[in-house]
Amino acid sequence: EADIYQTPRYLVIGTGKKITLECSQTMGHDKMYWYQQDPGMELHLIHYSYGVNSTEKGDLSSESTVSRIRTEHFPLTLESARPSHTSQYLCASGVSGGTYEQYFGPGTRLTVT
Amino acid sequence: AQSVTQLGSHVSVSEGALVLLRCNYSSSVPPYLFWYVQYPNQGLQLLLKYTSAATLVKGINGFEAEFKKSETSFHLTKPSAHMSDAAEYFCAVSGGSNYKLTFGKGTLLTVNP
Protein backbone atom coordinates (compact mmCIF):
# COMPACT_ATOMS: atom_id res chain seq x y z
CA GLU A 1 0.00 0.00 0.00
CA ALA A 2 1.35 3.43 -0.96
CA ASP A 3 2.02 5.49 2.12
CA ILE A 4 4.31 7.92 3.92
CA TYR A 5 6.20 6.85 7.03
CA GLN A 6 7.95 8.71 9.82
CA THR A 7 10.19 7.30 12.52
CA PRO A 8 10.43 7.58 15.40
CA ARG A 9 6.91 8.63 16.37
CA TYR A 10 8.09 9.95 19.73
CA LEU A 11 11.60 10.93 20.79
CA VAL A 12 12.85 12.30 24.10
CA ILE A 13 16.48 13.31 24.00
CA GLY A 14 18.96 15.40 25.95
CA THR A 15 20.39 18.75 24.96
CA GLY A 16 23.36 18.61 22.61
CA LYS A 17 22.55 15.27 21.02
CA LYS A 18 22.49 14.79 17.26
CA ILE A 19 19.21 13.45 15.94
CA THR A 20 17.83 12.38 12.59
CA LEU A 21 14.12 12.18 11.90
CA GLU A 22 13.31 9.72 9.14
CA CYS A 23 10.69 10.18 6.42
CA SER A 24 9.98 7.77 3.58
CA GLN A 25 7.22 7.56 1.02
CA THR A 26 6.25 4.77 -1.34
CA MET A 27 4.05 6.86 -3.65
CA GLY A 28 6.78 7.86 -6.08
CA HIS A 29 6.22 11.55 -5.40
CA ASP A 30 9.06 13.86 -6.37
CA LYS A 31 8.05 16.66 -3.99
CA MET A 32 8.61 16.34 -0.25
CA TYR A 33 8.20 18.74 2.64
CA TRP A 34 8.98 19.15 6.35
CA TYR A 35 6.70 21.18 8.62
CA GLN A 36 7.07 22.17 12.26
CA GLN A 37 3.95 22.38 14.40
CA ASP A 38 3.65 23.31 18.05
CA PRO A 39 0.67 21.75 19.89
CA GLY A 40 -2.63 23.21 18.74
CA MET A 41 -0.87 25.65 16.44
CA GLU A 42 -0.49 26.23 12.71
CA LEU A 43 2.00 24.47 10.47
CA HIS A 44 5.22 26.16 9.42
CA LEU A 45 7.17 24.95 6.38
CA ILE A 46 10.84 24.51 7.28
CA HIS A 47 12.27 22.56 4.30
CA TYR A 48 11.15 21.28 0.92
CA SER A 49 12.53 19.34 -2.00
CA TYR A 50 11.32 19.11 -5.58
CA GLY A 51 13.54 16.17 -6.49
CA VAL A 52 16.75 14.27 -5.83
CA ASN A 53 19.68 16.52 -4.82
CA SER A 54 17.33 19.51 -4.59
CA THR A 55 16.52 21.05 -1.19
CA GLU A 56 15.32 24.49 -0.16
CA LYS A 57 14.65 26.27 3.12
CA GLY A 58 11.06 27.00 3.92
CA ASP A 59 9.26 30.01 5.30
CA LEU A 60 10.27 29.42 8.92
CA SER A 61 13.97 29.56 9.73
CA SER A 62 15.21 26.31 11.22
CA GLU A 63 18.56 25.07 12.51
CA SER A 64 17.83 21.66 11.02
CA THR A 65 19.18 20.37 7.72
CA VAL A 66 17.78 17.94 5.17
CA SER A 67 19.04 15.75 2.36
CA ARG A 68 17.42 14.10 -0.65
CA ILE A 69 19.65 11.40 -2.05
CA ARG A 70 16.81 9.07 -3.01
CA THR A 71 13.35 9.99 -4.26
CA GLU A 72 11.59 8.12 -1.49
CA HIS A 73 13.71 9.32 1.46
CA PHE A 74 13.87 12.81 3.02
CA PRO A 75 15.56 12.78 6.45
CA LEU A 76 15.84 15.80 8.74
CA THR A 77 18.86 16.25 11.01
CA LEU A 78 19.53 18.39 14.05
CA GLU A 79 23.26 18.48 14.81
CA SER A 80 22.82 19.66 18.40
CA ALA A 81 19.34 19.46 19.88
CA ARG A 82 18.11 22.23 22.19
CA PRO A 83 14.92 22.60 24.25
CA SER A 84 13.71 25.20 21.72
CA HIS A 85 13.57 22.39 19.14
CA THR A 86 10.81 20.67 21.11
CA SER A 87 7.91 20.41 18.69
CA GLN A 88 6.05 18.10 16.34
CA TYR A 89 7.66 17.55 12.94
CA LEU A 90 5.44 16.52 10.03
CA CYS A 91 6.69 15.16 6.72
CA ALA A 92 4.60 15.35 3.56
CA SER A 93 4.88 14.44 -0.11
CA GLY A 94 3.14 15.82 -3.16
CA VAL A 95 2.36 14.96 -6.74
CA SER A 96 3.93 16.57 -9.77
CA GLY A 97 1.72 18.61 -12.05
CA GLY A 98 -1.95 18.72 -11.42
CA THR A 99 -3.67 19.26 -8.18
CA TYR A 100 -0.98 20.29 -5.65
CA GLU A 101 -2.28 18.30 -2.69
CA GLN A 102 0.13 16.94 -0.13
CA TYR A 103 -0.03 13.72 1.83
CA PHE A 104 1.20 13.68 5.40
CA GLY A 105 2.99 11.20 7.59
CA PRO A 106 1.94 10.59 11.21
CA GLY A 107 4.54 13.00 12.61
CA THR A 108 7.41 12.81 15.09
CA ARG A 109 6.90 14.43 18.47
CA LEU A 110 10.33 15.59 19.66
CA THR A 111 11.07 16.58 23.25
CA VAL A 112 14.51 17.93 24.11
CA THR A 113 15.29 17.99 27.84
CA ALA B 1 1.33 35.90 -2.49
CA GLN B 2 -1.29 33.65 -0.94
CA SER B 3 -2.90 33.66 2.46
CA VAL B 4 -5.66 31.88 4.35
CA THR B 5 -7.84 33.15 7.18
CA GLN B 6 -9.88 30.75 9.24
CA LEU B 7 -12.54 32.55 11.22
CA GLY B 8 -12.90 31.12 14.71
CA SER B 9 -10.08 29.22 16.34
CA HIS B 10 -12.60 27.10 18.22
CA VAL B 11 -16.07 25.97 17.16
CA SER B 12 -18.33 23.96 19.44
CA VAL B 13 -21.48 22.15 18.24
CA SER B 14 -23.89 19.60 19.59
CA GLU B 15 -23.99 16.10 18.17
CA GLY B 16 -26.37 16.08 15.20
CA ALA B 17 -26.06 19.83 14.60
CA LEU B 18 -24.74 21.52 11.47
CA VAL B 19 -20.99 22.01 11.28
CA LEU B 20 -19.74 25.19 9.57
CA LEU B 21 -16.04 26.02 9.51
CA ARG B 22 -15.10 29.22 7.73
CA CYS B 23 -12.15 29.81 5.42
CA ASN B 24 -11.30 32.87 3.33
CA TYR B 25 -8.34 33.00 1.02
CA SER B 26 -6.26 35.46 -0.92
CA SER B 27 -4.47 34.45 -4.09
CA SER B 28 -3.05 36.27 -7.11
CA VAL B 29 -3.48 33.16 -9.28
CA PRO B 30 -6.39 30.73 -9.68
CA PRO B 31 -6.28 28.85 -6.41
CA TYR B 32 -6.32 25.23 -5.47
CA LEU B 33 -7.99 24.90 -2.07
CA PHE B 34 -7.89 22.13 0.48
CA TRP B 35 -9.34 21.12 3.82
CA TYR B 36 -7.34 18.84 6.08
CA VAL B 37 -8.29 17.22 9.39
CA GLN B 38 -5.86 16.43 12.20
CA TYR B 39 -6.69 14.12 15.08
CA PRO B 40 -4.58 14.29 18.27
CA ASN B 41 -1.02 13.06 17.86
CA GLN B 42 -1.51 12.34 14.16
CA GLY B 43 -0.60 13.87 10.83
CA LEU B 44 -2.99 15.70 8.53
CA GLN B 45 -5.54 13.82 6.45
CA LEU B 46 -6.93 15.31 3.25
CA LEU B 47 -10.70 15.84 3.58
CA LEU B 48 -11.39 17.41 0.19
CA LYS B 49 -9.93 19.62 -2.50
CA TYR B 50 -11.07 22.25 -5.01
CA THR B 51 -9.21 22.18 -8.31
CA SER B 52 -11.33 24.43 -10.56
CA ALA B 53 -13.84 21.78 -11.55
CA ALA B 54 -17.16 21.76 -9.67
CA THR B 55 -17.57 24.57 -7.13
CA LEU B 56 -19.30 22.26 -4.65
CA VAL B 57 -16.80 19.67 -3.54
CA LYS B 58 -17.68 16.53 -1.62
CA GLY B 59 -15.13 14.90 0.63
CA ILE B 60 -14.77 12.06 3.04
CA ASN B 61 -16.79 11.53 6.24
CA GLY B 62 -19.78 13.48 4.88
CA PHE B 63 -18.02 16.84 4.62
CA GLU B 64 -18.39 19.21 1.69
CA ALA B 65 -17.17 22.68 0.80
CA GLU B 66 -18.28 25.32 -1.67
CA PHE B 67 -15.89 27.55 -3.60
CA LYS B 68 -17.24 31.10 -3.93
CA LYS B 69 -14.92 33.24 -5.99
CA SER B 70 -16.86 36.46 -5.40
CA GLU B 71 -16.51 36.01 -1.64
CA THR B 72 -13.03 34.41 -1.81
CA SER B 73 -14.37 31.74 0.52
CA PHE B 74 -14.18 27.98 0.84
CA HIS B 75 -16.28 27.11 3.89
CA LEU B 76 -16.49 23.53 5.14
CA THR B 77 -19.85 22.06 6.15
CA LYS B 78 -21.38 18.86 7.42
CA PRO B 79 -25.14 18.52 7.94
CA SER B 80 -24.96 16.48 11.14
CA ALA B 81 -21.99 16.40 13.51
CA HIS B 82 -20.76 13.17 14.98
CA MET B 83 -18.60 12.76 18.06
CA SER B 84 -15.85 11.34 15.87
CA ASP B 85 -15.65 14.68 13.98
CA ALA B 86 -13.95 16.33 16.96
CA ALA B 87 -10.52 17.36 15.65
CA GLU B 88 -8.47 20.28 14.33
CA TYR B 89 -9.32 21.42 10.80
CA PHE B 90 -6.96 23.30 8.52
CA CYS B 91 -7.74 25.16 5.31
CA ALA B 92 -4.91 25.54 2.77
CA VAL B 93 -4.29 27.24 -0.57
CA SER B 94 -1.82 26.68 -3.40
CA GLY B 95 -1.54 27.54 -7.05
CA GLY B 96 0.49 28.84 -9.97
CA SER B 97 4.07 27.60 -10.11
CA ASN B 98 4.19 27.34 -6.33
CA TYR B 99 3.87 23.78 -5.08
CA LYS B 100 3.86 24.91 -1.48
CA LEU B 101 0.69 24.96 0.62
CA THR B 102 -0.18 27.99 2.72
CA PHE B 103 -2.18 26.91 5.77
CA GLY B 104 -4.61 28.75 7.98
CA LYS B 105 -4.14 28.73 11.74
CA GLY B 106 -6.66 25.95 12.18
CA THR B 107 -10.08 25.58 13.82
CA LEU B 108 -10.61 23.20 16.71
CA LEU B 109 -14.01 21.52 16.45
CA THR B 110 -15.52 20.09 19.61
CA VAL B 111 -18.73 18.04 19.51
CA ASN B 112 -20.88 17.94 22.63
CA PRO B 113 -23.14 14.95 23.38
DSSP structural state of residue A52 = T
Q: How confident is the model at residue B71 (pLDDT cuts 50, 70, 90)?
A: very high
**Residues from chain A contacting residue B45 (CB–CB below 8 Å):** 104
Q: CA of B42 to nearest chain A CA: how many angstroms apart?
A: 5
Q: Are B44 and A90 in contact (CB < 8 Å)?
A: yes
* pLDDT given for residue A60 in this prediction: 84
* pLDDT given for residue A2 in this prediction: 65
* pLDDT given for residue A96 in this prediction: 73
Chain centre distance of CA B64: 9
Q: CA of A17 to nearest chain B CA: how many angstroms apart?
A: 24
**Residues from chain B contacting residue A33 (CB–CB below 8 Å):** 100
Q: Are B36 and A104 in contact (CB < 8 Å)?
A: yes
